[in-house]
Every structure is written in structure tokens, then in C-alpha cells.
Amino acid sequence: MERLDKRVAGSLTRFYVVALCVVAMLTISGLFLIRRAINRLNHDSRIVNVAGRQRMLSQRLTKLAVLKTTGIPHRDHADAAALLDQWKNSHQQLASRKLPVGGRLVVWKSQALDSMFAALNPVFDSLFVQLSNAAGDSTPVRDRQLALGHVLDKEQEYLAGMDRIVYQFDRENVGRLENLERIEWILDIMTILVLFAEGLLIFRPVVNTTRRVVRMLTESENALQQSNEKLKETNRQLVVAQNELLRVEEEKYALQLAEDRVRAAALIEGQEEERKRFALELHDGIGQMLTALKLHAEKLKSVQFHEEKHQKQFGRLTALVQDIIQTTRQVSFNLMPSVLSDFGLQAALKLLCGQTAEASGIRIDFAVVADDSVKLERAVETGLYRIAQEALNNAVKHARATHIDMKLHQNHHLLTLEIADNGKGFLISNLNTEPAPPRIHQGIENIRTRTQLLNGHLEIISKVDSGTRLVIRVDL
């Protein structure tokens, strides 16, 4: 089989490539000639139209000159000067063999046409001068009548010359078409000859070789069937082994996901513990020292300062201490709100909405429908509080919202937290690809991770300029 393939390839490839190249060259040549002929026909038709228009313009200019000279009332209000300029420009373009067509400059070669235009140029120049005099408003009546007489004398000679030019254009066009037709016939005959040679030297040997190959393939079919039976058995064994490998990989992937979830849970739990410790340090350490500093400062209010500016500086210092105390309390609350551990999730979310609305100036409505008899685990309360905190932060800083709704639904089996805003929204499909600030994507990922750690389900509903709604469902 290998020797046969080499023999067939060596004997047929050269003929086949040569035949294809010749056919391709003939085809491309025919297409090029046809395309060129079409372009020339378009150009020739444009040239003939312009030449025919020259006859019409000369007759119209003569008519306008007659009407203006004799004073006959008429409705033709065309601008004679503009028509004269157009007539002159077209004549110069035709005589110089440079006619603009469709943004391009059409150029042609014809000694006969050059001779005709050279013979017609004196007649045209004389007509142009006399038509300018006859159509001019400042020309005396006597001179205008003389100019009109000259125009009438020369008009027939100009029209006859333009007729000869138009007929010459047409004869040359017909000659080019006849020449193209002869070339096309030659190309068609050559293509037929090449195809005949291809069938005789290529396709006939291919048919004979194919017949031999088919006979050899038929003889080897029985051996291939036996080999196929053995391969089927081997394939069945491979499929069993592959299924076993897939099962092991799935178990390994599931174990890895579980490990990642445990690791993330431990990391978040450590973060919460560290936040709690840091919040206590701020509240019980720095907060107490700042409170003591405020008390000592207030005792100094009774001291009389000698200068008023010292009194003002002391007032600003007291206000600054109060701001630092308030900021410290706010940071401590954000790290670990005591109301969450003292009064539960509902009170913490209500307080969070109030503080966020006061700080941002955005209207935030909080509604709760919950069964007070159902006690939530500490991890669930903390996770949902952090989710609400992250969602409010995204809506205030990135969504440009003016109104936010937060709803908490809770019963014995299901807890649902819903946060909706009327901000600018986004496309869900572009969540990981759109050129948005990384903080938005990080916030969404934090919410998704915390929801997964609670064994919950996150639903994001958003459209551009239609706001965003987050729905977190936790099975209790």
C-alpha cells in the first residue's frame, strides 16, 4: 500500500498541479478582461453622455441668447453664466482626455478623437465668446444681436462636429468589444483543451488506480474485521478503566471543594475573632483613654484663658477629641457590633440600615417578617450581617442608588434576606469581564463565599439602569 501511494502521488501530482494552474490562470484572465471591459463600458457610456450633453447645452445656450436678445417672454430661468462654465469645463475635459467619473479620473487614447477636438476647438472658442457676449447683461443691444447672428452661423458646424465625435466614441467602443470577444473565444478554447487533457492524463489514470486500490481493500477487509473484534474488546476494557478514573477524579474534586470550604470557613472565623478582639481593644482601651482625655479637657473649660485665640483653640481641641471618640466607636461597631450578640440579627440589621442612611443620606427601608421563637446560630447571624454590610456598601459607593430596600423573612425552615436598590445596575454576563472597579467584583465574591459557607443560595438580579436585587436563602 505504501509503494502504491507513492507511485500514484508521484505520477499524478505534477500533472494535476499544472492543469489547475493553467485553468486558474485562464479563468483569472477571463475575469480580468470582463471586469476591465465592464469598467471601460461604464466609462465610455459616461463619456458619450457628456459629449451628448454638450450638444444639448449648446442648443440651450443658443435658445437663451435668442430669448434674451429678442425679449420674448419665457419661463426658462436658468443661469446662463453657470451653463456656460459647465459647457466650457466639459469641453476642456473631453478635449484633454481627462474626465472625472465617480471620484476617479478617466483617461483614454485616440488620435482620431484628438484630431476631431483640435478641428472643433476654434469653433467652440468662437461660440463661447459670442454666447458670453449675447448672454451678458452689460453688452449693448447691437453687439448682442451681432453675437447672436454669429452663434446661429456657427451652431450647426459645432453640432455636426460633436455628432462626429460621438459616433467616433461609439465606433471605438464597438471595436474594443469585438476585440474582447475574440480574446474571450481564445481563452474558452484553451480552457476546453486543458480540461480535455486533464481528463485524459489525470482522471483516467486515477480511475484505473482507484479500481486496483478497491480490489486490494476488499481483500484486506476480512483481516480488518478480525482486528476490529480485538479492538472492540480492548475498547471495552479501556472504557471501564476510564469510568473508574472519572469516578476517582470526581471524588478527588469533591474532597478538594470540601477542603476549600473548610479552609475558607476557618479563615472567616479567624477574621471574625480578630475583629471581635480588635473591637474590644478599641472600645475598652483606646476608647476609655479618649473618654478620660475628654473629661480632663472638660475640666479645663473653667480655666480663664488670657487670649481669645487660646480659648478657640481649646474649643477645637475638645471637638476633635469628641470626633475621635465617635470615629473610634463607629470603627469598633463596624468590626463587631455589640447589638448583634446582645439583641440578635434583626436589631443589628435595623441599626445598620439606620447608621448607613444617616451617613450616606440615602433612604433605606428595613422590613422584617420573622418568627421570634426560632433562634439562629451565631455563625449564621454573623454571616448574614456581613453579607448585608457588604451589599449596602456596594449600593452606596458603586451603584449610585437613592433608595434601598432590605427585607428579612424567617420561619422554622427558611431564612431569606433580600436587598434591592434603584442604582445603575450591571449585566450579569459581564460580571467577570466588564472593566469595573475590582472592589465591586470582590464584594460580590465575598457575598457568594459567605452564602456558600452558610449552605445557602445566592440569586443576583440586575439590569443596566434598572437597579440590582440580591436574594440570599438559607435552609434552616
pLDDT tens figures, 34-72:
666 666 656 667 777 777 787 788 777 777 777 777 777
pLDDT at residue 43, rounded to an integer? 66
Whether residue 99 has pLDDT greater than 60: yes
DSSP H or E stretch at residue 443: helix 438-453
Over the stretch 164-222, which tens digit does the pLDDT of each residue have? 888 888 888 788 778 878 888 888 888 888 778 777 777 777 777 777 877 887 888 88
Mean per-residue pLDDT for 351-362?
Answer: 86
pLDDT at residue 421, rounded to an integer? 92
Range of weakest confidence among 11-25, 232-246, 272-286: 272-286
Over the stretch 437-464, which tens digit does the pLDDT of each residue have? 555 567 788 888 888 888 889 989 888 8
Contacts of 89 (CB under 8 A, 6+ apart): none
pTM over cut 0.75: no
Q: Is 465 exposed, middle or buried (0-12, 13-18, 19+ CB in 10 A)?
A: exposed
Spatial separation of the C-alpha atoms in residues 143 and 150, rounded to whole Å = 11
Q: Rounded mean pLDDT of the chain?
A: 76
* 336 Rama sector, left if φ>0, alpha if ψ -120 to 50, beta otherwise: beta
Over the stretch 373-422, which tens digit does the pLDDT of each residue have? 667 887 788 888 888 888 888 888 888 888 999 999 988 788 899 999 99
Whether residue 436 has pLDDT greater than 50: no
pLDDT at residue 61, rounded to an integer? 77
Q: How far is CA 48 from CA 94, 216, 234, 368, 464, in A?
A: 10, 69, 81, 87, 59
- Pair 466, 396: CB distance under 8 Å: no
pLDDT grade for 432, boundaries at 50, 70 and 90: low
The values of phi and psi at residue 459, to 5°, are -125, 125
Over the stretch 464-473, which tens digit does the pLDDT of each residue have? 888 899 999 9
Residue 213 cell numbers, joined: 486500490
Percent of the chain with pLDDT over 90: 5
- Pair 374, 412: CB distance under 8 Å: yes
pLDDT at residue 36, rounded to an integer? 66
pLDDT at residue 418, rounded to an integer? 92
More confident residue, 11 or 350: 350
The values of phi and psi at residue 370, to 5°, are -140, 155
Percent of the chain with pLDDT over 70: 71
pLDDT at residue 69, rounded to an integer? 75
Mean per-residue pLDDT for 427-434?
Answer: 64
pLDDT at residue 137, rounded to an integer? 67
Q: How far is CA 155 from CA 78, 94, 164, 359, 380, in A?
A: 20, 19, 14, 93, 105
Would you call 458 helix, strand, or coil by DSSP? Answer: strand
More confident residue, 326 or 435: 326
Spatial separation of the C-alpha atoms in residues 358 and 393, rounded to whole Å = 13
pLDDT at residue 364, rounded to an integer? 92
pLDDT grade for 435, boundaries at 50, 70 and 90: very low
Range of weakest confidence among 114-118, 243-247, 428-432: 428-432
